[in-house]
Chain A
């Protein structure tokens, strides 16, 4: 059976993951099971890939309609939390998961608070009363371990200037610079979901890695989960791209004491040591404002919110005018204090 549900052994209700206690809990009778101690039904099942095309809810028997990436969802008829186990096994088995620590109400509160802090968002938006949907989703990420062997050649100059007699001298010392660097990155996250915008996901970082748990399906109960759309090899270029600026700034930090440095040759040899498939918690908030849809993402552990809010033209104008006026006034004051007259 590719569909996993968690029935409460006491009362038979569907159990879901509770982000507060970190346990699999029953909303009806309050029973809580420690996830790390219950055997994962996934481990006992063997599937061949793409074996199953249809899923049926264990509770009501209805067809479970999902997108092809979905690996955990709720039954659209009876609301039971279901996990599609064949999408979580074999190559698709996540190594680890960071469970949610923020529940739906907390997420809503945090989002409302964030909306109020927006200095440029329209007042109508700040009330945050048009949340269309708020969905807890485990987003597939690859955590890369990358080893870089770097060799850099460059030219550096040290400039000294002094005055002697009627002449001003500029003395430039030229240096040949060489650096060989070993630079390793661990747990570099790259989101593997096609649906999620990369720049949105990048801004959600950092995720607290000390909360990483060995993957067990009960963590997904009650949430949406997706399987990866891209393999670690497919996303390797993006991982390299992401570290490129880190590497450049590391190199720059090793070349100090020069007035100017130019690199003639930079060789970066990156090897993919390994990549862990993990599921990271993200609250997706859909928001309706002025007939337009806005999507925000919230880190399910830290509560950090990202996403472009609408910008109020009036407030932009107000801030612009205010800041300009204040700085003009202070400039005037400075010039007045320097004896230049106020006008």
Chain B
């Protein structure tokens, strides 16, 4: 019995480490030789240093998900629609991790209209639905508004990477998938079970209210349930109105269908 104890502790510690550390490290990192340019910063929002850092990150995570995580910024002097910009950009560049016109996510920044568009092609379309892209966009909008582009782009790459780890159709923000939540619940459960065991180790009361009740001579003699009044409260149902944004994919002029989410920042 004694030997088993440290083993259980060890197992827990290992599991704990896996849970907490693993998600932050991609399994394999793409070597520098394989890395290709995924940052098209035409609007010059980033410094060279930032650009290369982001590119490295996008390449590493992209290899994991077999998808190109592309960032495209433009001053949009021709004042085109941001969605059209994105589609044309994909068609022109022939983006894709696996092949020309393959798996890719594109974050397009239209600095002219201060609009942002997220599009997922092929595998990314399947795994990054309109809802998931909406979720990513919502999480980075505040950074975009405040001009913290580097941070926003990092979050975009990380979130896209993370969400593509969940099967299509499930909510990636489901609390069940949260490692901390899982850990918390497990520890709480362990505590409750051990607490109960400790509490019950001294024996417990096994009589209840019926044990000594003289049921033949006990009864309700008189009862009254008198209705007094009814009160009604009403609450207006909040309508979901998306401010400055919304989902919606489409098909590019080159015939590549995609998921999408657009919004202003």
Complex-state Cα separation, A324 to B221, whole angstroms: 51
Which candidate, A24-32, A94-102, A276-284, A327-335, is the interface stretch facing chain B? A327-335
> How far in angstroms is the closest Cβ of chain B from A189?
8
The stretch that binds A, out of B140-148, B171-179, B250-258, is: B171-179
Contact partners of B189 in chain A: CB under 8 A? 323-324, 327
A176 and B2 CA atoms in complex are apart in Å by 60
Q: Is the CB of B219 within 8 A of A167?
A: no
**Cross-chain contact B225 with A335 (CB below 8 angstroms):** no
Q: Within 8 Å of chain B (Cβ to Cβ): is A47?
A: no
A182's contact among B169, B212, B218, by CB below 8 Å, is which?
B218
A155 to chain B, nearest CB (A): 8
6 smallest A-B Cβ distances: which pairs?
A339-B167, A306-B203, A324-B190, A246-B209, A318-B5, A328-B186
Tell me if A316 and B194 are in contact (CB < 8 A).
Answer: yes
Q: Is residue A20 within 8 Å, beta carbon to beta carbon, of the partner chain?
A: no
B78 near A: Cβ within 8 Å?
no
Is A178 an interface residue, CB under 8 A from the partner? Answer: yes
Contacting residues of chain A (216-260) with chain B, CB-CB under 8 angstroms: 243, 245-247, 249-250, 254
- Give B50-84 interface residues, CB cut-off 8 Å to A: none
B window 3-57: CB within 8 A of A: 4-5, 8-9, 11-12, 15-16, 18-19, 22-23
> SS class of chain B's interface: helix, strand, loop or mixed?
mixed
Scan B182-216; emit 1 where CB is below 8 A from any A CB, else 0. Answer: 11011101110110011001111111110111100
Please name all residues of chain A whose beta carbon is closer than 8 Å to the beta carbon of B207 when the two chains form the complex. Answer: 205-206
For residue A242, which residue of chain B has the nearest CB? B212
Q: Report the minimum CB–CB distance from A291 to chain B (whole Å).
A: 20
Q: Among A166, A169, A178, A309, which residue has its beta carbon within 8 angstroms of that of B202?
A: A309
| A156 at the B interface (CB under 8 A) | yes
8 A Cβ contacts from B222-243 to A: 222-237, 239
Residues of B within 8 A of A186 (CB): 212, 214
* Selected contact of B185 from candidates A120, A314, A327, A340, CB within 8 Å: A327
Q: How many residues of A contact B (CB 8 A)?
A: 73
User: What is the minimal beta-carbon distance from B214 to any residue of chain A, in angstroms?
Assistant: 4
Q: What 0/1 readout, one digit per residue, does chain A (194-218) give for beta carbons within 8 Å of chain B? A: 0000000011011000000000000
A206 with B206: CB separation less than 8 A:
yes
Q: Pick from B5, B165, B187, B217: contact of A341, CB below 8 A.
A: B165
Whether the pair A169, B185 counts as a contact (CB closer than 8 A) is: no
Q: Kindly identify, within residues 122 to 147 of chain A, every residue whose CB is under 8 Å from any CB belonging to chain B.
A: 123, 145
